[in-house]
Copies of this chain bind each other. A is one copy, B any other.
Amino acid sequence: MKRTEIGTIGEFGLIDKITADYKPSQKSTIYGIGDDAAVIDNANYQTVVSTDLLMEGIHFDMSYTPLKHLGYKAVVVNLSDIYAMNATPKQITVSLAISSRFSVEAIEELYKGVYAACERYNVDLVGGDTTSSLKGLMISVTAIGQGEKGKIVYRNGAKPGDLICVTGDLGASYLGLQLLEREKQVYAANPEMQPVLEGHDYLLKRQLKPEARKDIVDLFEQSKLIPTAMIDISDGLASELMHICRSSGVGVFIEEAQVPIQEETYNQAIEFNMDPITVALSGGEDYELLFTVDSADLEKVRYMNDIYVIGDVTPKEDGIYLHTKGGNRHQIKAQGWRHFEQ
């Protein structure tokens, strides 16, 4: 692969390269890249904004993350936040800080992923900032969406008696990461060893190229269903349950047997000597939707594709509990986000 030092073309050259073939497609994008700020038209909608900062060595490891996947994932993770409001993402900004280790071609590869996500989810890239870093790669993405007044779903609307639902399946992304980390260690110990990643396509794809649940938000619209509370699962089911409970002032009672876990996830957890439900509760990076609905909507959600009723919302004083397959009650603890802990 050809290597052009970023210094030889400068910031404007880099931006030109990155944006040369790109044309915004949203009617609401009045003005995108090329000025001080992006301009977005709004009729009677509410603008929804979300932002994430991804750091090399903290959120991703370049030794096993293809750049295109990284760009794709950085966008998807943000879009997932907008869908979690029952809103539709329309625009994103992407800011990068890049050390001299990265070539122009590498950054172009990353943007291929950004643009692939834009196309897949029908959003426009409308701005950003590009700068250098002394060390490593940082990506900051801000997503801006539209929600209809009265249809935006917050974390704070769950009430006792509501049903707790989750989309897709949980724990796969975390195990994908564990597989990648294991092979990295093996390779570090003996560079002649070949990585053993075959047969793990599903887990790896969930880690390296996750998708956001646009389809579910579309389904809500079609079914005229408005959840009472919603959040996306980035830090793990347990942590997101805590958020909903804290914001809504409620408790939850989760049925272990109803928590969706893929067979491949289940088997790999066992192979790693992990409890599959722990992986599902604390793994994170699933980017599925966790939401609550009024119990009157049970018939609506029960037959929806890829939506699982996993428990009930309870009064706050009942706490946050898991009803295990063995019939025990376990308190669910916050795992949350531990980047600051050593």
Contact = CB atoms under 8 A, between A and B. Distances in A.
Interface of A: 5-7, 10-12, 14, 30-31, 34-42, 45-59, 81-82, 84-85, 87, 91, 93, 95-98, 100, 126-129, 131-136, 138, 140, 142-145, 147, 152, 154-156, 231-232, 247, 336-342
A100 B342 CA distance: 9
11 contacts: A36-B82, A36-B231, A37-B143, A39-B48, A42-B47, A51-B140, A55-B97, A55-B131, A58-B133, A100-B342, A129-B140
Nearest to A9: B340
B142 A93 contact: yes
A179 to B, nearest CB: 23
A218 B46 CA distance: 26
A243 to B, nearest CB: 9
A127 B51 contact: yes
A154 B36 CA distance: 8
Nearest to A230: B36
A126 B36 contact: no
A49 B40 contact: yes
Contacts of A128: 51
A36 B134 contact: no
A33 to B, nearest CB: 11
Given A55-B134, A133-B55, A145 B45 contact: no
A147 B31 CA distance: 12
A127 B49 contact: yes
A50 B30 contact: no
A136 B134 contact: yes
A50 B34 contact: no
Contacts of A52: 95, 129
B35 A95 contact: no
A132 B10 CA distance: 28
B95 A140 contact: yes
Given A11-B337, A134-B55, A50 B127 contact: yes
Contacts of A12: 336-337
Contacts of A42: 42, 45-47
Contacts of A6: 340
5 nearest interchain CB pairs? A42-B42, A37-B50, A140-B140, A36-B81, A53-B95
